[in-house]
Structure 1
């Protein structure tokens, strides 16, 4: 078998050059099939058994499961293949052309998180001809940046199965065993428009929303009193009132208003329970029959994540990296793997402050240390 594939830099060049923007705006949204087909070709050349799993009704959005070896245990090296949109004109170089300068690789997705895949492949190459006792799985997902649809599809399929998983999001080479969840919600109140000269001619939805906002702030304070985890830089759950839109003119009674907000829950705060409480409290805040209130999630949300600090995976990652496992505020696909009974950590070479930014880059000094960590994890859980 010809096992020659592009080198690490060439792989990243090709991945960055293949646009895979995931966005809620349909004019910006695109598929990731081109990216996973590149990965599939390289991994098949190395002897992996590769399966592509298109999302239902979205043939251009695809998960990839590439497996070396057999069995139900082993290790998953996982990452998403989509990127966020980019700020056109704010990059010093073409975001789709890998640019090496200042001891960095610049390019869209270089750190979040296409750059993880060439490193995972480089680590895997050291084990191609070794007798694996448990499988090594390289997993690529679709739509992490928007809906988490790729990770959800894997959970629904119950695949892949493994003992451990590493999600290669940017953590600066520190193993992460906890992160907060995320909910994005909307509350809509409809009243009755009318001439502002006589309030009796309508029902002002903005005034009703004032009561709903007050109830949200009260609930936020209760949650922050009820829940606290000192393992996080911000140790309490947060609620951010993000945007509000209502009415159309100063001299008209506001007939409709919508508030969108997010909640970042701690581990142990189930999204279904939080939404039930939100629904009850919001409806109780607006009792006047002149108004109707509708509350609904903007997307399904992602649960908070926590891996046992004493698990073998956490202890191994701490030993290999020289860093104690910590927490982050951003969300990942880790809770989806955890929900399938897979011990999971988040660990990657990039820095989160580079993610979603113009001139995103991956520092070259991070590459070899990350490859060595991955080799150590593969040796521990697959040999």
Structure 2
């Protein structure tokens, strides 16, 4: 692989801000990244489709197809990044910097660095060699709402025999991951003078009762659900932030609680949310408070590849046993479209979502060779 060409392409991608966030203060369009990838793939002979994400202005998916027919392979990545704190970086986050045998920049490993590798591997073969299509897929909003992948799932497009999502896994195949729920509970009581508790409805007292219930539920989930494939073999619940009240001499009128749950594949998210909602309704009726439960994000389903030809092939090619992870990806959405799906790419998740994100140079050549073998297996000489 031509390292200079790879670095040049990655530098161009990193230079285009494409932050995705649930906060409108930070959220940005990904159109610049999509347009750049579209220009590169078009020049290489791909048929290019730029698809607006419904109800998300400024957000786009890219479907670029090389070859014709059925079957084939999807190489998928997300075009967005998380927000960052530039003042905490040792260099400009949007200017790719090479040092210490690594390339530093926002999205270098998560996951703009995957796209130049996929394109380099695609170029390894002549267009006329393709017996089944290779599809480069770039999605929107993976880091926030998953709106890009959800739109593709709803459209059932595109479809291939297999899909590789190039998230940073150190080139270890990921066969399963937990689901992610992020929830908000808003408790609205009635403020009043603290000298007489009967004058109001103390939202903080109700929050204490609710937290005790959630802690009991947390213990119950651990007892009821176990999957020893995961390093943390049970569902987790984390109380991330709580805000409420404004003065010690006022009855607390409102409390807001945010928490997340990492669910195992056999735990139904809707069932869990309904269980919590039922308790909130009973507590509201008992106390006279108003209690709202709502999701902060679209819940990410868990993913389980099951018995998979693709996972077995990736284990063989990498000589790494497939593993599981606790973070969420777009894999369940592609799998829901009927494709054999795996999560596997260069870089480490341990350096993502933090200052001075980087991808190690030592990961690039093995990733290029691996992607090339997958393209050959599914597109050049499909069985």
How high is the TM-score relative to the length of structure 1?
0.96
> In the alignment, what sits opposite 2:246?
248
1:270 paired with 2:302, answer no
1:152 paired with 2:147, answer no
Distance (whole Å) between structure 2 residues aligned to residue 283 and residue 9 of structure 1: 55
> In the alignment, what sits opposite 2:255?
257
> In the alignment, what sits opposite 2:76?
78
Cα deviation, residue 106, structure 1: 0.7
Contact 1:66 1:139 in 2 (8 A): yes
> In the alignment, what sits opposite 2:373?
376
Give the counterpart of 1:131 among 129, 148, 167: 129
Distance (whole Å) between structure 2 residues aligned to residue 111 and residue 54 of structure 1: 25
The total of aligned residue pairs comes to 378
1:318-357 deviation line (CA, Å, top 9, x unaligned): 0111100001111111110011111111001010011011
User: Residues 5-16 of structure 1 correspond to what in structure 2 (within 5 A)?
Assistant: 7-16=5-14
> In the alignment, what sits opposite 1:215?
213
Distance (whole Å) between structure 2 residues aligned to residue 226 and residue 174 of structure 1: 30
Distance (whole Å) between structure 1 residues aligned to residue 368 and residue 25 of structure 2: 37
* 5+ long unaligned stretches in structure 2: none
Contact 1:47 1:128 in 2 (8 A): no
Contact 1:52 1:62 in 2 (8 A): yes
> In the alignment, what sits opposite 1:42?
40
Distance (whole Å) between structure 2 residues aligned to residue 136 and residue 270 of structure 1: 34
Contact 2:67 2:127 in 1 (8 A): no
Give the counterpart of 2:348 among 341, 348, 351: 351
Distance (whole Å) between structure 2 residues aligned to residue 26 and residue 220 of structure 1: 32
Distance (whole Å) between structure 2 residues aligned to residue 128 and residue 45 of structure 1: 14
Cα deviation, residue 27, structure 1: 2.2
Contact 2:187 2:207 in 1 (8 A): yes
Partner SS state of residue 89, structure 1:
helix
Cα deviation, residue 10, structure 1: 1.0
> In the alignment, what sits opposite 1:66?
64
1:327 paired with 2:318, answer no
Indicate the RMSD between aligned Cα atoms, in angstroms: 1.4
Cα deviation, residue 133, structure 1: 2.2
Distance (whole Å) between structure 2 residues aligned to residue 283 and residue 216 of structure 1: 14
Contact 1:212 1:286 in 2 (8 A): no
1:239-266 deviation line (CA, Å, top 9, x unaligned): 1111111111100011111111111001
Moved more, 278-287 or 35-44: 278-287
Partner SS state of residue 341, structure 2:
strand
Give the counterpart of 1:141 among 139, 142, 149: 139
> In the alignment, what sits opposite 1:339?
336
Distance (whole Å) between structure 2 residues aligned to residue 57 and residue 277 of structure 1: 30
Cα deviation, residue 59, structure 1: 4.3
Distance (whole Å) between structure 2 residues aligned to residue 261 and residue 171 of structure 1: 26
> In the alignment, what sits opposite 1:224?
222
